[in-house]
Amino acid sequence: MENKTLSDIKINLVEHSKINDIDFENLSFGNVFTDHMLVCDYTNGEWNTPEIKAYAPFTIEPSARVFHYGQAIFEGMKAYKDEQDDVWLFRPDQNYERFNKSAVRLAMPEVPQDVFIDGLKKLLQIEKDWVKRGNGKSLYIRPFMIATSSGVIASPSLNYRFCIILSPAKSYYSGEVKVVIADHYSRAANGGIGAAKAAGNYSAQFYPTKLANEKGFQQIIWTDDATHTKLEEAGTMNVFFRINDTLYTAPTSERILDGVTRKSLIELAKRENINVEVKSVLVEELIAAAKDGSLKEIFGAGTAAVVNPIAGFGYKDEYFELPKLEKSFALHLKEKLTNIQTKVEPDTFGWTVKI
């Protein structure tokens, strides 16, 4: 293996890439990873020199506090390749800022920009051949941080590990999605960590989602924890509702994640002359709109799928099918956003960053 130091990043390259063994046309999302990862440890109150090395397991104590007290955060990002074989990131500054907000909320150290952004760029330069051209193709980026101090005392860790791993992805399609509106379980509560991308937020969703799956629904539209009357998120995504020709989405809060795709779609919709209102939509308003025919669309918004249309929703003992539209806001906005991400259309917002 080749060892060298460049721009304060240790680089330890693999001798043989596994890229030729990968079938890029038949990828299962998030199961295949590139040759290298970035690792940086926080010890003695400071960040050490980051290292890019072979993607491989690493050793951690069974008493590491991530296992016992849940200090773990992550981000989801993508890199895209245009027709000139240049690689681009989409709004990485937003993911970086949100990552550190999550770190602060979980009493973890903030990651310096030269470790997160510069380290990611260097990693992508090394792994650029893993970013494939074509509609829907991308390289999924997963930065994460875990607590590594040994000991089972209930207190924040002293040591942490920050990593970035990469996974090639094809066009994400989950089939027809039907959702059920939550009337008991909650994704997050006021004063909690719902606005952070904390691992525990997602594990807490698995059981109620399992119950929804057993009833024939793929996801849950979460409601506020206090009254279960305000519609907030769909599964692990932000959610939009189209009533007549206006899009509605809930304002961000301590319970709702400040999604990068969400805020991008809001700006894009305004540019496309689609009326958008950031306000809470009540369950009773949604049901009334479904009954009188003014509810046209519901769709989730997130990094993996970009936009995920919803075919229908259930609430208590009722089910409401959504109309099939020729002029869907969801599909129009998805096309426009992915065209910006892949440089098919000009980026008038300044969102894309060349590697």
Predicted confidence pLDDT, tens digits, the chain (355 residues) = 444 444 589 999 999 999 999 989 888 888 999 999 999 999 999 999 999 999 999 999 999 999 999 999 999 999 999 999 999 999 999 999 999 999 999 999 999 999 999 999 999 999 999 999 988 899 999 999 999 999 999 999 999 999 999 999 987 656 679 999 999 999 888 899 999 999 999 999 999 999 999 999 999 999 999 999 999 998 889 999 999 999 999 999 889 889 999 999 999 999 999 999 999 999 999 999 999 999 999 999 998 888 999 999 999 999 999 999 989 999 999 999 999 999 999 999 999 999 9
pLDDT of residue 29: 86
pLDDT of residue 5: 41
The CATH number assigned to the domain with range 2-169 reads 3.30.470.10
pTM: 0.93
- Distance (Å, rounded) from C-alpha 180 to C-alpha 316? 8
Tokens of 184: 């008991």
pLDDT of residue 130: 97
| CA dihedral of 220, 223, 228, 230, whole degrees rounded to 10 | -130
Given a contact cutoff of 8 angstroms between Cβ atoms, the answer to whether 240 and 248 are in contact is: yes
pLDDT of residue 174: 62
Angle at 72 between CA 106 and CA 115, to 5 degrees: 90
Render pLDDT for 153-187 as a digit per residue (tens, 0 to 9). Answer: 999 999 999 999 999 998 765 667 999 999 999 98
pLDDT of residue 135: 83
- Distance (Å, rounded) from C-alpha 42 to C-alpha 50? 10
Render pLDDT for 134-160 as a digit per residue (tens, 0 to 9). Answer: 888 999 999 999 999 999 999 999 999
- Spell out the CATH class of 178-341: alpha beta
- Distance (Å, rounded) from C-alpha 162 to C-alpha 144? 6
Q: For the chain, give every domain's residue range.
A: 2-169, 178-341
pLDDT of residue 57: 96
Tokens of 7: 């721009």
- Distance (Å, rounded) from C-alpha 86 to C-alpha 103? 32
pLDDT of residue 1: 42
